[in-house]
Structure 1
Amino acid sequence: MLKHPLAKFFALAAVGALSQAAMAFDGTINFQGDIIDATCSVAPSSQNKTVQLGKVVSRKFTGTGSISTPVDFSIDLLDCDTASAKNAQVTFSGTADGENLAIANSGQTVAAATGVAIQLKDSTGKVIPMGKASSQYILGNGTNSLQFKANYFATKDVVTVGPANGMAQFTVAYN
């Protein structure tokens, strides 16, 4: 037994210091995010999506302006509050195919298809040129699914075979 009062204090201090060594850190977790004032938020499943346009036979394109069968896709909005805005418009941007204002084919290979671009349309089938706002979509409170269509669009009289991929970013504006 320790008889001196300071000896007990030093013994307790030593035990305390040793117990801290047993609780060493193994890593760090950083938390990040933003609190925003927005009418809606884009659903995570809509932030980075792939729309499969499928395999289209080249003879389907009978000349400049001919199209493939449109494929439906959506951009889903969450937590919408119509007290802030009643409508939304979507603007697509990216590399446009010349005067056609459609998404340029970026096949990424030497053998990429030529004479074709990707055309975007709103839910009624109206073409949405690159860099231009879509028609207005009426919003409801909560979740909203904005419907679109995409198809291949012949930009020349002859379409050659190969990958016909494209990419566009989008921005949602509320009013």
Structure 2
Amino acid sequence: MNKFAVKGLTLALMMAGGSAMAALPSGATGTTVSGGSVHFTGSVVDAACAVSQDSVNKEVPLDQVRLAAFGTTPGAGVAAGQKKAFSITLADCDSTVSSQAAVTFNGTEPQGLPGALDNTAGAGGAQGIGIQIYDADGSALPLGQESKATTLIDGTNNLNFTADYITTSDTAPTAGTVDATATFNVTYQ
């Protein structure tokens, strides 16, 4: 672009801005409307670490699985065999305050398989299917029970887990959506 075109464009923009400002009558202040609200949440903890913000409301999308993954013989406790890894991240850890951390998951349990998470999908939900959480070593981690303790290092620590679909009754499961929520607590030792 040549220098005359740039000067011409600059002059045109200045005139347009001046015209827009001149459109308000003398002494006018404009209009103010309510735009909504901003809600801030958080917490202050007296602990060895803080739970990282990306772990506070964690989403773990499990891969789609076929009913055939649960076999042909119905029964509670049959996993799909497609574990999905996830972690709880602890930040700003001070290992002199506490040297270990463990996680306890809580949630709604199905009648046929205590310790697992019940499918709360409702209408259109898979029947006889829940979610099982597993500790870092691959062993089932029942709801309400502490995970194996992880030794903390200063800084950031990832507490690793997996989750898988699991049958929750002795009747054959049905296809549908699966939705389950677990809350968690961190215990420092």
Structure 1 equivalent of residue 139 of structure 2 = 126
Rounded to whole Å, the distance in 1 between the matches of 2:56 and 2:87 is: 11
Structure 2 equivalent of residue 14 of structure 1 = none
Does 1:167 pair with 2:181?
A: yes
Mark the structure with the bigger radius of gyration: 1
Q: 5+ unaligned residues in a row in structure 1: which ranges? A: 1-26
Which stretches of structure 1, 4 residues or more, deviate above 3 A after TM superposition? Answer: 29-36
Structure 1 equivalent of residue 46 of structure 2 = 37
Q: Where in structure 2 are the equivalents of 1:46-57 lying within 5 Å?
A: 46-57=55-66
Which deviates more from structure 2 when the two are superposed, residues 143-152 or residues 93-102? 93-102
Q: Where in structure 2 are the equivalents of 1:37-116 lying within 5 Å?
A: 37-62=46-71, 63-64=74-75, 65-68=77-80, 69-98=82-111, 99-109=113-123, 111-116=124-129
CA RMSD of aligned residues (A): 2.4
Contact preservation (8 Å) 2:129, 2:168 = yes
Rounded to whole Å, the distance in 2 between the matches of 1:119 and 1:152 is: 6
- The percentage of aligned residue pairs carrying the same residue is 37
Give 1:57 shift.
0.3
TM-score (norm 2): 0.72
* Amino acid in the other structure paired with 1:61: F
Rounded to whole Å, the distance in 2 between the matches of 1:32 and 1:115 is: 36
Rounded to whole Å, the distance in 2 between the matches of 1:166 and 1:31 is: 26
Q: 5+ unaligned residues in a row in structure 2: which ranges? A: 1-33
Give 1:117 shift.
1.0
Rounded to whole Å, the distance in 2 between the matches of 1:61 and 1:141 is: 42
Q: 1:129 to 1:34 in 2, by over 3 A?
A: closer
Q: 1:79 to 1:155 in 2, by over 3 A?
A: same
Give 1:139 shift.
0.8
Rounded to whole Å, the distance in 1 between the matches of 2:122 and 2:44 is: 38
TM-score (norm 1): 0.78
Q: How many residues align?
A: 150
Q: 1:32 to 1:96 in 2, by over 3 A?
A: closer
Does 1:142 pair with 2:151?
A: no
Q: 1:36 to 1:50 in 2, by over 3 A?
A: closer
Does 1:117 pair with 2:130?
A: yes
Give 1:30 shift.
9.8
Q: 1:133 to 1:32 in 2, by over 3 A?
A: closer
Q: 1:114 to 1:32 in 2, by over 3 A?
A: closer
